[in-house]
Chain A
Amino acid sequence: MKSWEIGKRNLKEIYRNPVLLGFLLGMPVAFMLVFCSAMGGAQANPISLSIVDEDRSQTSSAFISCLGSIEAIELNEPIYSEKSQAQEDLEDGRISFYLFIPSGFEEARQAQQTVNLELTYKAADPMIGLQVKPIIEAVGSEFLGVAPPLIVELKGTESKIKNEVVNFFAPGIAVYGLMILVSTAAEIIADDREKGFLARMFTTPARPWDFILGYSLPFIPVLIISTLIYLGVGMALGLTIVGNLGHAILIFFLIGLCSIGTGMIVGSLVKSGSQAGVSWLFIVPMAMISGAWFSVEGMPSAMKSIAGALPFIHAIDASRAVINGSPFSAIIFDLYWLVGWAVVLFAVGIVLFRRTMVS
């Protein structure tokens, strides 16, 4: 089969090119290692919390003990009695942030009045404040006896997920890795056109479909191997597959097809292999607004709408959902979306690729 011969050649050009393979497989694996380690990874460390207890009451001591009992928090010793001391240590970099319990804390609790706590952190490092604030709010609400909205989360329901950080990042980065196929496919097609290899092949009796299959099929084994590597690395870092692994692989396969189709489009439109680098202008922003590296819950609705219209956010959401235990019925809409996009992108890719064959 002519398409098989063309496909075999393209597969060899991919796996014999270490730079291309490095980008395709190495970068997502490196991302996975860095993100999972930086954000907690396999061994999540507790957050060190410094406290200024101006109230020095039994109630404030009990509240501090309560905070210290939380697994995610490690209390720094000693407990400050003066705010100025803590502020000095914060400014000198000895501590990252501190919680201030003002005088009147005990009275306010007894009178069931609003209690104001202050969490002070360096302006240059706002993430730490955002990370700790909800924990303290939840512990505080529970301690003060007010019905807290996050009490379920704090109690920690029995979850099969060993490491939530890895279960969050691994599927997103796997989809990001498969998005790199856009650049790989585009580069191979554009490079062969620029150097005249495609023109040479067009002088042979191979038919248009031989080329279309020959330039798309080799990416299927690449897609499968990439998916297995990403999942393998994820599992080594503590990824727990609670749901159906087959459903997750189906999602990865569909988003891989979308990426190959997009790559064919880009490769047919640009004039050279180096111009195919333009696909990164699409890959990185798409990965960001699709939530590959962080939650997009707080993203502006306009951005959410753009991401929602494209396939990548559906692949990330659906793969996270099935890996974390959601049933197939929960991802049907995402699957329809992915299948639709895969068909459209492939069809457009084929039309544009065919147009390059005869001038």
Chain B
Amino acid sequence: MNAVQTFKLVKEFDGLVAVNGIDLEIKQGELFSLLGPNGAGKTTAIRMLCCLLKPTKGTASILGYDIAKEPFKVKELIGVSPQETVLSERLNCWENLALIGKVHGLSSKEVKGRSKELLETMGLTERSQDQVRKFSGGMKRRLSIAMALVSDPQVLFLDEPTLGLDPQARRAVWEYIAELKGKKTILLTTHYMEEADFLSDRIGIIDEGRVVALGTSQELKTNRLEMRSMVVSTRNITAEVIADLQSKYSRVEEVNGELKISHKDLDFKEIVDYLHSRGVTVYSAALEQPTLEDVFIQITGKKLRD
């Protein structure tokens, strides 16, 4: 049985289609990322799966329970860390964790045990008695994830878990999420391609409410990328040579003597030889590693942060 399954899931707001027929199958124990720019429909999709929004059309289930027909069964199985770091600001860490744990039906003893463990893991033990309004953004984010985990959920939804964090805090959150891999089914949304690349078993690229590509990071880079790119550092290159290259290859960009050439079936040696034959000095030349950003640009024609 899949942990998360959606079938042609649609959400419209006053005629505006936010999610447009998403089909997903996420296996138990899998870490699946929905990668897409702001406004792509990631959060709306998660909010439907968490039973906060009713789908306009389509269905979805969490561990076999229909989100529309059995929302309270679904809510018993999930943990959610929302995009906004929403905590009870005048409560301390223990009280925030106890609130969520007890609402999930845990006993005081269970809550205490789970909270202690999570606070240690998240590095919050020392500040556990302080009201959380005094915390930094990173600490709040870690507590938010701990709150999502306190009920020991089978399915964890992490909506932009590192949004607004500095690189160090982001790395710490990544490491903790990586530790959960295989133990929980995790659906993570992000618009950071490095995050999706680093953490995910599989990635769904979402744009304008649709999943436009699906696969592992490697699959997406190798299968979906039709073009390869190389960067050549040159001296004395002329406009005539650049124009000649542009007529032969799909994309040629030149900035201060540095050429970036993209083309299907790119021949590294052929380009270097051609440049030498035209009297251009080549300092260095290298094939560029494809990124998820390249995949996204190729599929949607726009950048992730547009």
Q: Is A145 an interface residue (CB 8 A)?
A: no
Q: How far is the CA of A219 from the CA of B82 in the complex (A)?
A: 28
- Of the residues A8, A9, A195, contact of B84 by C-beta under 8 Å: A195
Instruction: Assign chain A's interface to a size class.
Output: 20 to 34
**Stretch of B88-96, B113-121, B241-249, B251-259 on the interface side:** B88-96
A9, A203, A358: the one within 8 Å of B80 (CB)? A203
- Chain A 201-215 per-residue mask, 1 if CB under 8 angstroms from chain B, else 0: 111111100100000
B23 beta carbon closer than 8 Å to chain A: no
A10-18, A44-52, A170-178, A224-232: which lies at the B interface?
A: A10-18
Question: Smallest Cβ distance from B74 to chain A, in angstroms?
Answer: 9
28 A–B pairs (Cβ distance < 8 Å), ordered by A: A2-B102, A5-B102, A8-B99, A9-B88, A9-B99, A12-B90, A12-B91, A12-B95, A13-B88, A13-B91, A16-B131, A17-B90, A195-B84, A196-B82, A196-B86, A197-B86, A200-B80, A200-B147, A202-B51, A203-B50, A203-B51, A203-B78, A204-B100, A205-B103, A207-B72, A358-B51, A358-B54, A359-B52
A348 at interface, CB cutoff 8 A: no
Whether the pair B103, A204 counts as a contact (CB closer than 8 A) is yes
Nearest-Cβ distance from residue B288 to partner chain A, whole angstroms: 40
Interchain CB contact under 8 A, A197 and B88: yes
Question: Residues of A with Cβ closer than 8 Å to B?
Answer: 2, 5-6, 8-9, 12-13, 16-17, 195-197, 199-207, 210, 358-359
Q: Is B228 an interface residue (CB 8 A)?
A: no
Chain A's closest residue to B85 (CB) is: A196
- Minimum C-beta distance from B128 to chain A (A): 16
**In the assembled complex, B64 has its CB within 8 A of some CB on chain A:** no
Which residues of A have CB within 8 Å of B105? Answer: 205
Contact A200 B86 (CB under 8 A): yes
**Cβ distance A6 to chain B, nearest Cβ, rounded Å:** 7
Q: Hey, which chain A residues are within 8 Å of B47, CB to CB?
A: 199
Residues B191-217 near A (CB distance < 8 A) = none
Least Cβ distance of A194 to chain B in Å?
10
List residues of chain B with CB within 8 A of the CB of A206: 103
Indicate if B66 sits at the interface (CB-CB under 8 A): no
Q: Tell me which residues across on chain A come within 8 A of B51, comparing CB atoms.
A: 202-203, 358
Question: What is the size, in residues, of chain B's interface with A at 8 Å between Cβ atoms?
Answer: 31
- Give me 18 other A-B pairs in contact (C-beta within 8 A), A200-B147, A210-B103 excluded: A2-B103, A5-B98, A5-B102, A6-B103, A9-B95, A13-B88, A16-B90, A196-B82, A196-B84, A197-B86, A199-B47, A199-B52, A200-B82, A203-B78, A204-B100, A204-B103, A204-B104, A205-B72
Q: Which residues of A contact B90 (CB under 8 A)?
A: 12-13, 16-17
Closest to B105 in A: A205
Interchain CB contact under 8 A, B104 and A202? no
Q: Which 4 A-B pairs have the closest CB atoms?
A: A16-B90, A196-B86, A203-B80, A196-B84
Determine the chain A residues whose CB is within 8 A of the CB of B78 once the complex forms: 203
Instruction: Please measure, in the bound complex, the distance between the C-alpha atom of A207 and the C-alpha atom of B71, giving whole angstroms.
Output: 10
Please pick, from A5, A8, A203, the residue contacting B52 in the complex, using a CB distance under 8 A: A203
CA distance A202 to B50 in the complex (A): 9
**Separation of A6 and B95 alpha carbons in the complex (Å):** 11
In the complex, what residues of A have CB within 8 A of residue B297's CB?
A: none
Q: In the complex, what residue of chain A is closest to B73 when comparing beta carbons? A: A205
Shortest distance in angstroms between B251's beta carbon and chain A's nearest beta carbon?
42
Query: With a CB–CB cut-off of 8 A, which chain A residues contact B260?
Result: none
CB proximity of B160 to chain A, nearest CB, Å: 12
Return chain A residues, CB-CB under 8 Å to B87: 197
Alpha-carbon distance between A359 and B102 when the two chains are bound, in angstroms: 25
Residue on B with the closest CB to A20?
A: B90
Evaluate whether A201 and B103 lie within 8 angstroms (CB atoms) in the complex, with A12-B95, A195-B86 already known.
yes
* Chain A min CB distance to B126 (Å): 21
